[in-house]
Amino acid sequence: MTTFQTKISLTTTALFFIIFTSLAWGADISALVAKRVSQDGKTLDLSGLNIGTSGAKQLAKMELLSRITTLHLQGNNIKARGMRALAKSPHLAGLKHIDLWGNLLGDLGLKAISESPYLKQLESLKLWKNEISDDSIELMVVSGNFTHLKTLMLNDNLITPVGGAMLATSSVFPQLLTLNLFRNDIGDGGALAFASSEKFPSLELLYLGENKITDQGAVALIESKYFPQLKVLDLAMNPLGEPTMLAAFKVNRKGKVHIVYR
């Protein structure tokens, strides 16, 4: 094959890829959705299909969502515009579980969830890796949409001590069983706020690993008397030393709560 032929071949391949990608991006997803609904019609799993904002907007209009209670949308690149469309859909009024891992929702995406008139029955909300910061946490903690939440996963986001303190002092999570804030930046400020909070009477699992928490915040959390149902406190991958180790050893020896600190 000549150099010229090779260039033509590569150019043709590149053009095909661009055209295919464009068609896929704007394609009708109704047939795909129909194949991904569980037999009982209550679960829809679109994980990793990259339906994008366009697909999310189509999905929001589908009446079959009215029966869905569990929706898996992780890895779909729906962004804030797609989330806004879903949050405005009356077909999602019965939704209880939604997984939105890695969708680049940002603060505007969480704002849409917090302000939606239809997402008031959520029991689990998974928002890993969505570039969420304190700005949308401020809206979240005054929303009335989360009083039924039992699982809230905000790991791998941009939450600072300010956002951590807002979560810790909020009264909107009375039924929360699992809170995951792994790999944020809540620091000792956020940790101390949680340690002195009486807002989580049902919490069983608290994940605060890799949050720049030092012994000051860690020991306060370990010795806190405000988590009567706590079973696991995960503080791994924080810069912790001997004070944390000793405090964790005393609690772990009793066996009521498991402290992970390294």
Summary mean pLDDT of the chain: 92
160 touches 186 (CB < 8 A) = yes
Q: What are the backbone angles phi and psi of residue 85, rounded to the nearest 5°?
A: -65, -45
Q: Which residue has the tokens 């150099």?
A: 3
Question: Residue 9: what pLDDT?
Answer: 44
Q: Which residue has the tokens 């849409």?
A: 112
Token reading at 28: 């009708």
Mean per-residue pLDDT, 177-189: 98
User: Where do runs of H (alpha helix) occur along the chain?
Assistant: 3-26, 30-35, 52-60, 79-87, 106-115, 134-140, 161-168, 187-195, 215-223, 242-254
In CATH terms, the superfamily for domain 30-260 is Ribonuclease Inhibitor (3.80.10.10)
Report the distance separating Cα 261 and Cα 209, nearest Å. 8
Mean per-residue pLDDT, 137-144: 96
- pLDDT tens-digit map of 202-224: 999 999 999 999 999 999 999 99
Mean per-residue pLDDT, 50-70: 97
Question: Residue 27: what pLDDT?
Answer: 87
134 touches 161 (CB < 8 A) = no
pLDDT band at 187 (very low <50, low <70, confident <90, very high): very high
What contacts 199, CB < 8 A, 6 or more positions away? 168, 169, 170, 171, 173, 174
Report the distance separating Cα 215 and Cα 10, nearest Å. 58
Surface-to-core class of residue 181, CB atoms within 10 Å of its CB (0-12 exposed, 13-18 middle, 19+ buried)? buried
Neighbours of 146 (CB within 10 A): 22
Report the distance separating Cα 165 and Cα 161, nearest Å. 6
Mean per-residue pLDDT, 225-246: 98
Q: Is the pLDDT of residue 21 over 70?
A: no
Question: Residue 26: what pLDDT?
Answer: 66
Mean per-residue pLDDT, 151-175: 97
What contacts 32, CB < 8 A, 6 or more positions away? 46, 49, 51
Question: Residue 124: what pLDDT?
Answer: 98
